[in-house]
Chains A and B, each alone.
Chain A
Amino acid sequence: MVEKSINLLETIKKEKNNDLIVFTTFVFDPIFFDGYILRKLKQNNPNSIIIVLMDSKIYSTIENEFTSETGKEYALIPVDGNLFHSKIFLFKSKSKSKVLIGSHNLTLSGITQNLELSFDSDNEQLASDSLEYIASLLRKNLDSKNPWYKRLEPFLKNTKNSILITNEKDSILDQTLNLVKNQTKRVNEIIVFSPYFSKVELIIKKLLDLNPKEIKICVQKNNHNLDTINLKNFTSVSLNEVTPNNLRRLHSKFIVFRSSGKDLILMGSPNFTSPALLETSTIGNYETALLLEEDYELFSKNFKITSITEKDVKNSKRPDKITSVHFQRPQIMINFAYFDDFGRLNIEYKSKIRADVNLFSENEKTNTSISIESGKQTIQVLSVPITVNKIWISKDNKIISNRVRVCSPKVMKIRTGLVLEDSKSVQKVLSEVVSLEDIENILLNVFPQPNERISDYSQSHPDIPIPMPGKHTSHNANQGRFNILSRLISNSSPRNKSSSPPEEGKTGIKHPQQTKEPDESIFDLIKKFTKRFEKEVILKTTITKRYSIYLVIALKLIKKIKTGEIIGKTSESVISGLNSMIVKDTSFSNFSITEKMEILYLLITLANEVEHNLRMPYKFDHKAILLKYKPLILNYLEKENPLESLFQELKQPEKYGFDEIDKNLLKEFLQQEFLQHPILDRLEICKKKIYALEYETNVDKINLGYPTLHLFLSKDAELRNRITPEIRKLKDEQNREAISKILSEYSNS
């Protein structure tokens, strides 16, 4: 119903906690978007990625309006091909959707001044349709491995478009006319409003298929380009003026199909032009629309329609633009450029040629030779500094591509939105850690930095070489990010706002790419991380799940190591770090069982890495850890089947992407825990188990009981000695024999 109105600015501002925000727009206003909307979106949707798809011709004309954030802090993608005119604002999270489909561009005028029509919906089907459409645009323009596309993929449901009308396969008008025919018996009147017209006679001919009595063509004076010459032959066409209630520029576009008892309104991006309504996007524009059943009487309350003469139309025509956009599609169309996790510049392009060309960048003034293949391609360039702002390609001193902003890798997720006081937030963020960038983002939260962003950091330290990947191997390429992480971790003066770079001598950091193999660099990095974490974080009781943060980050970094031996060595050092942290932490005993179980799970995962990679059985001998877990594990030791009970319990915590734990290692942990108890207590526990087996006939219990005795006795010689006299007292012969057998099994060990 068009009774109420929508404040687009407030609506966008109110959107919170989305995971994905996409805008499609013809015209884009970077000054307003970056200066206001982006900041609000970031503030309210810290985990969201933001994508803006816009017309490529307009992109090329607004370059001088780009702020330092344009296309860097979000993905700004010029859509290749014909005029890109779709206007969808989509906000998506796992639990909800919001879509605004209309005539509004992503500009200050579109959002605050013009009189636009917007369909505001949280309909899942419409959101799904919109997402499918956006995904299809991305597929056409980007590589299937593009990380932004990848972030969109989980939301795709592969359903057919059923509500949103796009012109990917059929023209908007053909689809609309079919829908109208299906939904109404007879159309009496068609009312058209648009600020832009072209080949009107062709569109009218199609509309006449519905046999309306009248087609009202409406214009707003001084805001249209309607040419009436070809309309003279249509007797059922009348010319009208639309006057909004308050003088505003009508930028909305609509076609109303009125029939008895039902009014249908086509609204959205298409103007009353041939490329918008009659063509598919292969030849015409890219358009999106909706056909809605609405009450026309309510709809038309915001304006008045009065009949006008042909002369009035002619006299009120908008003058032709003096500056038309001269955009010739370049030989190479760069669709998107971004730095990946490893600091490599990825350029996704479509090329008409295959050639050796030069890649230029604006702020860094670099000039790199690259080879371009024809077709839709992606190239990775290793030697471009991550501070590069804008790139383009030239051949023989002639620019042969469009110029695009390079998206920064860190801003893909903007910031993690990690709320260190909120265990759910920590768990969510940790469970989503995949890349080094994710780790970086978490560390930025955990260790306050003098500078917000690493890119700023490197910009403010021109004397420190910008971490650059090596040219040929992915190992070396990793170094860039590790180096950043290393600096991040090593900055041990969080309150020091000065921007002086970390001094090598003081921090002991060497730039790893210059001196060490990558795996060793990670080993060093984790050691530093452990040190700083222990010093600055672990005793901060306000930070929830701090042990999980430490262990998950360490494990994720360990997963980047390729050499088995170093994996084992590093994992061992992380366990030692944990032990050292736990020693000091008096608050550990207050942790919930769930949290302790989570830490134990991560500990055993690490132990598995040691055992597996160093190829030797792991022994839990870190006293502090064993001591802190003693009370909790005692409960399990007293259970009928301690190992199985604990194993089942350890299936519960968040896994953070790691595998299930090795039961043998858990057994080893239980045995070491058991040994922490005084001999008399151990004896007591063991005796209880033995006597419980006297005359036991339940096979299940028998099957559980003896393995548990194995668990207690196999590593405990003292207990074996003490338990021997007790066996003699047993009355159940079978029980006595079974236990004696166990003891004899370990008598020589």
Chain B
Amino acid sequence: MQGSLLWTEKISLGKIRDPLQLAVFRYTEEYFISGIITQTERLRYYTFLTWAWTQIKEGHSDLEKKEIRDLEKILTLASAMHHMEGLPQPNGIRSMKAGMEYLKNHQKIELDKFKNFGKRNEQGWGNYYYRGSIKNLGILWYENNSIKISPSAKEISDIFSIHLKNYQNNLWKKTLSKSDLKNISSICCCNISKQEQNFWLNIFFGLTRIGKNGLETDPNKKLLIKNPDELSFEQFQVSEDQIDESAFDEGLTNFTETKTNSTRKELRTGSLLMILKIIKESMPTIKRTSLLQIIRDSIYYSQFQTNNSIKSIQFGMLEQYRRYWEVYVHNQYYVNVFESTLSIITKICQEYPLGIEIDYLHKRKVDDDKYLKFINKLGFSATKNDSIGVLFAQLENILKKKKTSLSNPLNEHKILRLLIVSQSDSEELAMILVLLLLCKYRFSFFDDKQLRMLSYKHDKFASVYPENVYNEIDSIKIIEFPKWIFKFIIKRHRHVSAKKLLNSGTKAWLFTEEGNELFFNKEYVFKPYCDVKWINVLEILHDLGLVEKNISKKLWILTKEGEKWLKNQ
């Protein structure tokens, strides 16, 4: 008979990012600190790429767009040369080690032969920066196949040209000698001039205006923070489908400073000052995890913990910014509830490669008695027949209707910690429930203005919109919660992966479902918190001369300049 008997192919997976599509809860980063991205820590890239594109635009070079990568190679090699002889290596320079290696082995520098420059970096990172952060700052962008430069781009380009002295031509060469490289060592990120710093301080802190040809610095403008309550959050009303994690990280969301919309500029100014305030008060350690926790706690609780003591921060005028960022930290904990559950599901699933019944997931892994015991150990008195609503009422009593704080042992920070270190599925599920209740509790303190941070357009199917979830859980029995959350997360992931396939063709299912059974595909490793952008913010503030690392004490501290800026607000 006409036809073919065929075995079916297994469809291989694509890159899985954000498997529950929760990136929308990180949107605050993009909206409040636009222009700073997680892909770069160094201010020099902002200057260098703006200069390079301006030169190309003004005809000083006939370099093709894709050849911007060669300029980046020179930046790396010149920086490597600058730090070859004993100087500590700067962070944030792309492929620095490879650059040093290349210099050791080659006398003549041939850019085409310096190949170890990022596997996926085919077009040059500059093609991302100008598209992302530099564009969002309103400095330089690409429109109708041509580069558009603002007066501010011209200004920083001129500053940098002077900085380069007479050695600019070296930057356009394909083949260089080592002495050529030495002559342009000033392009290394540790050589940021005062003028350059001032320029970028003006940009990042909004001392700018929109002129006829775009953004320009405004020498007459004074540092001023606006009350965010008075700002429009209209652009927060995005659909959750529009939010893509990688777009955030690379600053590819489509925002530019305009005359009519300066909200982002105002929000960035306030937010940067808020982080300066936190650094001033807390002098956090430079160790990433502790640093981020101090920032998080300072925002969420107005408290931070050092050496077993809890200290408070009074934010003064900046309190109006902290309030908004508080919603962002809530979102961090909230997202952790779902992502940690997803991780548990894939872990269990992995043990059953030929399928596990969905209802078996919790029955197999959660011991009802132990689970209740873990909950009650935290001060609750829950029974098997109680609903989550009852448990929530107990939580309100325990916390005496006051906001959670570091001083109270029942707080989000602590519960998440317990969840991370837990070795038992029953305990993990207990902590997930308590964390979700704490989020719900904290959410109840937010006012309408703050809730504008969550005004995104949510997908109604398997909705993770906090209010919906908080309402839905009330009537569920405490011991039914593991089953409910497993089913909810499975449904959400199935929905999200179907959407990803439709929208971007990405095959992103960690598991598939058939006949109430789950079939494993890929493990999801839970990583708590997604607020790493603060590191990039601090590094940029460092290059701007506002904060510095006290190497001996291993602390971040405010510089005198930083004190001045903070005082002037």
Contact = CB atoms under 8 A, between A and B. Distances in A.
Interface in B1-45: 1-11
Nearest to B355: A249
Interface in A314-338: 318-319, 321-323
A122 B515 CA distance: 30
Contacts of A99: 3
A120 B514 CA distance: 23
A222 interface: yes
Interface in A1-59: 1-2, 4-9, 26-27, 29, 31-32, 34-36, 39-40, 58
A60 interface: no
B7 A117 contact: yes
B519 interface: yes
B6 A2 contact: yes
A114 B355 CA distance: 11
Contacts of A113: 10-11, 512, 519, 521
Interface of A: 1-2, 4-9, 26-27, 29, 31-32, 34-36, 39-40, 58, 61, 64-65, 67-68, 99, 102, 104-105, 107-123, 126, 163, 220, 222-223, 246-249, 252, 265, 267, 292, 294, 299, 302, 318-319, 321-323
B309 interface: no
Contacts of B461: 31, 67-68
B522 to A, nearest CB: 12
B509 A108 contact: yes
A736 B97 CA distance: 113
Select the residue from B6, B359, B495, B502 with max chain A CB neighbours within 10 A. Answer: B6
Nearest to B462: A31
A293 B355 CA distance: 32
29 contacts: A5-B7, A5-B8, A29-B514, A31-B491, A102-B8, A105-B514, A108-B497, A108-B498, A108-B509, A112-B512, A113-B11, A113-B512, A113-B519, A115-B8, A118-B8, A119-B3, A119-B5, A119-B6, A120-B3, A123-B2, A126-B3, A247-B353, A249-B519, A267-B5, A292-B5, A321-B357, A321-B516, A322-B360, A322-B363
Nearest to A32: B498
Contact of B3 (A104, A105, A111, A122): A122
A121 B4 CA distance: 6
Select the residue from A1, A35, A118 with max chain B CB neighbours within 10 A. Answer: A35
A322 B1 CA distance: 43
B494 interface: yes
Contact of B495 (A35, A117, A220): A35
A14 B90 CA distance: 52
B513 to A, nearest CB: 7
B440 interface: no
Contacts of A126: 1, 3
Contacts of A318: 354-355
10 smallest CB-CB distances across A and B, nearest first, come from: A121-B3, A35-B498, A109-B514, A112-B11, A6-B6, A109-B512, A116-B8, A123-B2, A223-B354, A108-B512
Contacts of B497: 108
A401 B490 CA distance: 29
Nearest to A33: B498
A34 B459 CA distance: 14
B381 to A, nearest CB: 30
Nearest to B353: A247
Contacts of B11: 7, 9, 111-113
Interface residues of B, number: 38
B499 interface: yes
Contacts of A68: 460-461
Select the residue from B5, B7, B495 with max chain A CB neighbours within 10 A. Answer: B5
Given A68-B461, A120-B4, A294-B5, A220 B491 contact: no
Contacts of B1: 121, 123, 126, 163, 292
B499 to A, nearest CB: 6
Interface string B487-527: 00001001101110110000101001111100101000000
A119 B513 contact: no
Contacts of B516: 61, 321, 323
Contacts of B460: 68
B84 to A, nearest CB: 49
B496 to A, nearest CB: 9
A9 B512 CA distance: 14
B44 to A, nearest CB: 45
A122 B1 CA distance: 10
A547 B515 CA distance: 53
A302 B7 contact: yes
A109 B519 contact: yes
B357 A323 contact: yes
A32 B493 CA distance: 11
B512 A6 contact: no
B519 A27 contact: no
A589 B480 CA distance: 75
Nearest to B514: A109
A249 to B, nearest CB: 5
A402 to B, nearest CB: 18
Contact of B2 (A27, A116, A122, A246): A122
B348 to A, nearest CB: 14
Given A64-B491, A222-B352, A323-B357, 11 more contacts: A5-B7, A36-B501, A68-B461, A99-B3, A112-B11, A118-B6, A126-B3, A222-B353, A292-B1, A322-B357, A323-B359
A126 B521 CA distance: 35
A554 B166 CA distance: 79
Nearest to A298: B5
A99 B10 CA distance: 20
Given A163-B1, A246-B10, A265-B5, A220 B354 contact: yes
A249 B354 contact: yes
A31 B490 CA distance: 11
B494 A32 contact: yes
Contacts of A248: 10
B8 A6 contact: yes
Contact of A107 (B3, B8, B502, B514): B514
Contacts of A58: 515
A184 B516 CA distance: 41
A108 B494 contact: yes
Contacts of A323: 357, 359, 516
Contact of A123 (B3, B6, B498, B499): B3
A105 B513 CA distance: 11
A121 B360 CA distance: 39
B7 A27 contact: no
Contact of A121 (B2, B515, B521): B2
B306 to A, nearest CB: 48
A244 to B, nearest CB: 9
Nearest to A224: B354
A64 B483 CA distance: 14
B555 to A, nearest CB: 50
A122 B498 CA distance: 29
B500 to A, nearest CB: 9
Contacts of A32: 494, 498
Contact of B4 (A1, A8, A27, A322): A1
A36 B497 CA distance: 9
Contacts of B513: 29, 107-109
A223 to B, nearest CB: 4
A246 B357 CA distance: 22
Nearest to A66: B461
A267 B3 CA distance: 14
Given A36-B501, A247-B353, A2 B7 contact: yes
Contacts of B7: 2, 5-6, 115-118, 252, 302
A703 to B, nearest CB: 58
A40 B9 CA distance: 20
Contacts of A265: 5
A31 B494 contact: yes
Contact of A36 (B2, B357, B498): B498
B361 to A, nearest CB: 11
Contacts of A120: 3-4, 6
